Amino acid sequence: MNRSRGGGGERSGQNPSIAGKSRQIKLVLLGESGVGKSSIALRYVRGEFNENGEATIGGKYYSAYLTKNINLQSTQIKFDIWDTAGQERYHSLAPMYYRGAAAAIVVYDVCSSSSFMRSQQWVKELIQQANSQIVICLVGNKADMAAEKRAISKEEGQEFAMSNNLIFSETSAKTGMNVDEVFYSVGKSL
């Protein structure tokens, strides 16, 4: 886990009764369709992975909304997680979701160079148009895939993240690798 943005805190367990204060944080998940945004959200909130996950699309919904609480030092953070549709035809709706967000997780598929290029565009858009204090985390998902299927090295992701002052991690929503740590790092940086 590479973390470039500031913040701090220590994990104090998951018992809400020990929290001295509470913060509600809007967090938006952005990225191309099929990169695993919904899978990351479901793994984090429910500890589940659905092998046959459906795309977050217009007929049913343009976004999904989930919540989860974590405790950092004496603060309980309630993440309001907005999982957005990744299809290009819904791109114009994205500002509605990231407006007012304190944090964004931009996801790409480590096996797809086009999703990595698109994630770079999302980051630039967030930097230009979102809240100037927004915490941005770049996540390379599907890191459990075989090395020969990789299109983007971990170093490429880290380099882009460092050059843009982003938190960075590679995850596997399928195995759960680093998923909790991503949200914990975002929470510490708020």
Whole-structure pTM value: 0.83
The CATH number of the domain where 52 resides is what?
3.40.50.300
| Rounded CA separation 114/121 (Å) | 11
The answer to whether the CB of 69 falls within 8 A of the CB of 78 is yes
Mean pLDDT of 132-160: 98
Q: Which domain holds residue 111?
A: 2-189
- For the chain, the residue count is 190
Residue 169: band (very low, low, confident or very high) from pLDDT cuts 50, 70, 90? very high
Instruction: Give pLDDT, residue 93.
Output: 62
Helix, strand, coil percent values for the chain (each to nearest 5)? 35, 25, 40
Over residues 159-166, the mean pLDDT reads 99
Give yes or no for residue 118 having a pLDDT over 80: yes
Average pLDDT over the chain, rounded to an integer: 85
The string of pLDDT tens digits covering residues 28-60 is 999 999 999 999 999 999 999 988 765 444 333
Query: Which positions ≥6 away from 110 have C-beta within 8 Å?
Result: 116, 140, 141, 142, 143, 145, 150, 151, 152, 154, 157, 170
Which of 172, 126, 135, 155 shows the shortest CA–CA distance to 4?
135
Distance from C-alpha of 48 to C-alpha of 179, rounded to nearest angstrom? 11
Task: Count how many domains the chain has.
Answer: 1
pLDDT of 51: 84
Q: Can you tell me the mean pLDDT for 161-167? A: 99
pLDDT in tens, 44-100: 999 999 887 654 443 334 446 899 999 998 899 999 999 887 555 455 566 777 899
Least confident span in 97-101, 114-118, 145-149, 169-173: 97-101
Residue that wins the pLDDT comparison between 59 and 156: 156
